[in-house]
Structure 1
Amino acid sequence: MERAPAVRCRGITKYFGDVVALDGVDLDMPRGQVHGLVGPNGAGKTTLLGVLLGLTVPNRGSLEILGAPVDRVLAVPDGVGGFVDGPGLYPSLTARQNLAAVARLRGRGIDQGSEVDEALEQVGLVDVAGDRVRGFSLGMRQRLGLAAALLTKPRLLVLDEPSNGLDPVARRHVHRVLEGLAAQGAAVVISSHQMDDLAALCSEVTLLARGRVVFSGSVGKLAAESGRLAYRVLTSDAATARRVVAETPGLDLVPDRHPSRPDEGAVVARGQVSAVDDLVVRLVGAGVAVRELGPLVPPLEAAFLTLTGAEGALAEVGAP
């Protein structure tokens, strides 16, 4: 297996007039993994995706993709596919005709019959292969864009919000495709605002803010950056649960600012995961049944808010 990363960025800087979109980005993206790219609006995600696809080049810094240096527009090596800001499709053509057009444009021996049909089957669009794209939903367009990228036999696949508009079944279908590509050794880079997508798919995550990398590492490490979270605990005895929370080291009892079922014995405790584990043991020991337990803000989302300076949003739900 090749050891060099699929993507190596060093000091990547890109500006548009006075606007600095990327500011000295250093980043490695390994092969054989799904890598998540996240950040608030205006963080530079779309610009970085465009750089990886060869749609633009940085003003400063060095970029290697699949082991080859890239220093001009559209100079990425073969094996790079994907889309940014939604896939480019011909609305008057059918799904199959769109993919056949991609095959012709590529001109590299893609079978316009069997390979197109295989790509449609991979993304679950065989039943609508003969329908014109102008009538497709957003989710169907996203899947057709993925099918077009699959025709390139990508070793680096770059996708911008691939789960937009997908229902749960279609989203899981797309997840299986991306996981399969990574298992075969491809590097998959996805930009997403959906933290559950990141948790389900990604081995590593890079978080951008104001054009700079503020975090890059495993999903587990990112979740650990969330620190002390607020957990809602639904029990059989709220009064006893409050007392036990107050007696548990490392936990604070905080108000539930958004109670969904205020009359069912819920309390909110803030602390590290280890302290919450201790709380569950203490509640059971006190004869209190724990019916539901979960963070008010998922750990990945909490880490996102903390690292991008949006602590005020956490405070609204009782987190620090």
Structure 2
Amino acid sequence: MRARGITKCFGDVVALDGIDFDVAPGRIHGLAGPNGAGKTTLLGLLLSLAVADEGRLEILGTPVGRALAAPAGVAGFVDGPGLYPSLTARQNLTALAKLGGHPVGDVLEEVGLADVADDRVRGFSLGMRQRLGLAAALLTSPRLLVLDEPANGLDPAGKQHVHGVLARLAAAGTAVVLSSHRMDDLEALCAEVTILATGRVVFTGPLAKLSAESGELAYRLRTSDPAAARRVIEQTRGIRLVEAPREAEGVVVRALVPALDELVLRLGRDGVAVRELAPVVSPLEAAFLALTGQEATR
């Protein structure tokens, strides 16, 4: 899909302000932003739940007009999937499949719900409902899949399962737009990301570019010898000590990646084992906070 200059207002509120947005076939594109940034509005436009006031939107090579009808090949959900709680998972999909003339097939098995196919949806957890919503979207074999917080409420196994489904779809050529507040989900799945703030794009591009532009980050370092590690830190150019080493918690340093590499090499030469080295805040989250004018709370 391709969007140029997309603007959408609700009365005096400008939800989207001149948005440019591209998603290529076979790519999982992450969409991030604080509450009220315009993510839900943009997803609604992609699913033809609303129309833009200004700009040009093309989906699967076709310009989207004023009609509230999603082009064939587009599926997904915003603000959670709409389901019939009194029906079973299989009955929900059967009803949707009849409306669109699609076979149900094995989508329940694909999303990991085959064992509860004949259970009523009213007893489903939030994560199970999200997976059933994904199954409903897969009925149409979409070429563009639009998902709002698909991993919401999932346990680690369920999240891993859904991630696998999305990765397989992208490998087969489906374009996926994935909105999430969870930076770890976006980092695990997305090759590229768009960050919105107050209805405008503040970054769009590959994750690697975003990480490279995030500058100095804070890293938690735990070693076999905290005292020796501190001496090495003080002798390594480009490393700033943020917190003094503690036996249990380690030390926090700020550095660019090249200086961090040099520190690890020096620690190894001095016989100090590195037991943990991880960002206090991930590169994506750090960039997100900086670009949206927010501050980390940890």
Q: How far did 1:77 drift?
A: 1.4
CA distance in 1, matches of 2:81, 2:213: 34
Secondary structure at the counterpart of residue 185 of structure 1: coil
Q: How far did 1:265 drift?
A: 6.8
The equivalent of 1:121 in structure 2 is 109
Comparing 79-88 and 245-254, the one that deviates more: 245-254
The equivalent of 1:37 in structure 2 is 31
Output the TM-score relative to the length of structure 2: 0.96
What is the aligned length? 298
The equivalent of 1:80 in structure 2 is 74
Amino acid at match of 2:167: E
In 2, are the aligned partners of 1:236 and 1:265 still within 8 Å (CA)?
no
Deviations 1:89-120 (A, max 9, x none): 000111001001101221x3x23xxxx24111
Match of residue 11, structure 2, among 13, 17, 24: 17
The equivalent of 1:8 in structure 2 is 2
CA distance in 2, matches of 1:127, 1:32: 30
CA distance in 2, matches of 1:264, 1:56: 53
In 2, are the aligned partners of 1:229 and 1:271 still within 8 Å (CA)?
yes
Amino acid at match of 1:67: G
CA distance in 2, matches of 1:80, 1:236: 53
Q: How far did 1:255 drift?
A: 2.0
CA distance in 2, matches of 1:248, 1:123: 49
Comparing 242-251 and 93-102, the one that deviates more: 242-251
Q: How far did 1:202 drift?
A: 0.8
Comparing 30-39 and 73-82, the one that deviates more: 73-82
CA distance in 1, matches of 2:67, 2:94: 25
CA distance in 2, matches of 1:291, 1:100: 52
Q: How far did 1:204 drift?
A: 1.0
Q: Are residue 199 (structure 1) and residue 200 (structure 2) matched?
A: no
Q: How far did 1:123 drift?
A: 0.6
Match of residue 276, structure 2, among 265, 282, 292: 292
Output the TM-score relative to the length of structure 1: 0.90
Q: How far did 1:240 drift?
A: 2.1
Secondary structure at the counterpart of residue 26 of structure 1: strand
Q: Structure 2 unaligned runs (5+)? A: none
The equivalent of 2:150 in structure 1 is 162
Q: Structure 1 unaligned runs (5+)? A: 1-6
Q: How far did 1:153 drift?
A: 1.0
The equivalent of 2:121 in structure 1 is 133
The equivalent of 2:293 in structure 1 is 309
CA distance in 1, matches of 2:275, 2:133: 43
Q: Give 4+ residue runs of structure 1 displaced > 2 Å after superposition.
A: 73-76, 262-265
Comparing 247-256 and 172-181, the one that deviates more: 247-256
The equivalent of 1:282 in structure 2 is 266
Secondary structure at the counterpart of residue 57 of structure 2: strand
Comparing 81-90 and 234-243, the one that deviates more: 234-243
1:74-113 to structure 2, matched below 5 A, reads 74-106=68-100, 108=101, 110-111=102-103
CA distance in 2, matches of 1:176, 1:73: 34
Q: How far did 1:73 drift?
A: 3.7
Q: How far did 1:181 drift?
A: 1.0
**Identity score, percent:** 68
Q: Call closer, same or farther: CA 1:124–1:265 in 2, change over 3 Å.
A: closer
Deviations 1:196-255 (A, max 9, x none): 111111111111111111111111112223210111111122222112111111111112
RMSD: 1.4
